[in-house]
Amino acid sequence: MLEIKNLHVSIGGKEILKGLNLSITAGQVHAIMGPNGSGKSTLSYVLAGRAGYDITQGSITYNGEDLGALPPEARAAKGVFLAMQYPVEIPGVTTMMFLKSALNAQRRARGESELDAIGVLKTVRRKAAALNVSEEMLKRALNVGFSGGEKKRLEILQMSLFEPKLAILDETDSGLDIDALKLVAEGVNALRDPARAMLVITHYQRLLDYIVPDRIHVLAGGRIVAEGGKELALELEAKGYDQIVKDAA
């Protein structure tokens, strides 16, 4: 589904990713772990198409298509979803209104019929209940005044609503206490699907106790330096990044 080859990415002329290779097939959950500054967020932004992240070399192929050439909204319509580390606040736009606009924009881009307000409302309500997202939250302006946990739950609600093919979760565990983390993880696990790939980006192993990955990649200095099964997370936890990076070198 996703094939990243020798990816070099620069921000403002400074190279952050330096030849990254990664391949994920449908139905799999991969985790990217790495220390601060290793390029984790850069990878998530470049996959979602944020401006200012220049691909200087290499390629990102998504279902046979060059992902790098598409604007962010086209990627979303084709099923790429990024749950952001810091979801953005948009004053005056209610959460419900945003969900409807985004959902219908994606449907429109895919040539599907738009859903009416009632239809969206029903779907959102059903999915929101499972994630403990209250009716009141849906009426508030998007992410404005939301707690860290509320923001992350809303990200997962969007993932559940948009039903992406490739979901990238960027530090979804940051800022969550253990109960909130469990709730979010349950939401994510419920969305595991043979047709869906997930890329879980995290600094800590603890998220991977709840979302168990098929494969773990360690990112350091803009490259994948180690790979392995889920047991690699424990090794990382025990040895620390420094040691793993050294071992790999």
Partner 1 sequence: MSSAAAPEINKQTKETVAALGEKYKYGFVTDIEMTRAPKGLSEDTVRYISAAKNEPDWMLEWRLAAYRRWVQMKEPDWARVHYPRIDYQNAYYYAAPKNTPLKKSLDEVDPKLLETYNKLGIPLNEQMALAGVAVDAVFDSVSVATTFTDKLNEAGVIFCPISEAIRDYPDMVRKYLGTVVPVSDNFFATLNSAVFSDGTFVYVPKGVRCPMELSTYFRINASETGQFERTLIVAEEGSYVSYLEGCTAPKRDENQLHAAVVELVALEAAEIKYSTVQNWYPGDENGLGGIYNFVTKRGDCRGDRSKISWTQVETGSAITWKYPSCILRGDDSVGEFYSIAIANHYQQADTGTKMIHLGKNTRSRIISKGISAGRAQNTYRGLVSVHARAENARNFTQCDSLLMGGQCGAHTVPYIESRNSSARIEHEATTSKIAEDQLFYCQARGLGAEEAVALIVNGFCKEVLQQLPMEFAVEAQKLVGISLEGSVG
Establish if 117 lies at the interface with partner 1 (CB under 8 A). Answer: no
Residue from 7, 82, 156, 188 that binds partner 1 (CB under 8 A)? 82
Cβ proximity to partner 1: between 44 and 205 the closer is 44
For partner 1, give the closer residue by CB, 105 or 191: 105
5, 8, 18, 50: residue in contact with partner 1 (rule CB under 8 A): 50
- The nearer residue to partner 1, 51 or 118, going by C-beta atoms, is 51
Select from 5-13, 49-57, 202-210, 233-241 the region that touches partner 1 (CB under 8 A): 49-57
| 46 sits near partner 1 (criterion: CB under 8 A) | no
Number of residues that bind partner 1 (CB under 8 A): 33
Choosing from 34, 39, 49, 68, the residue that interacts with partner 1 (CB under 8 A) is: 49
Residue from 11, 26, 105, 130 touching partner 1 (CB under 8 A): that is 105
Residue in 141, 204, 210, 212 binding partner 1, rule: CB under 8 A: 141
Residue 52's nearest CA partner among 19, 89, 12, 83 is: 12
We find the least distance from the C-beta atom of residue 81 to partner 1, in angstroms, to be 8
- Distance separating alpha carbons of residues 120 and 221, to the nearest angstrom: 43
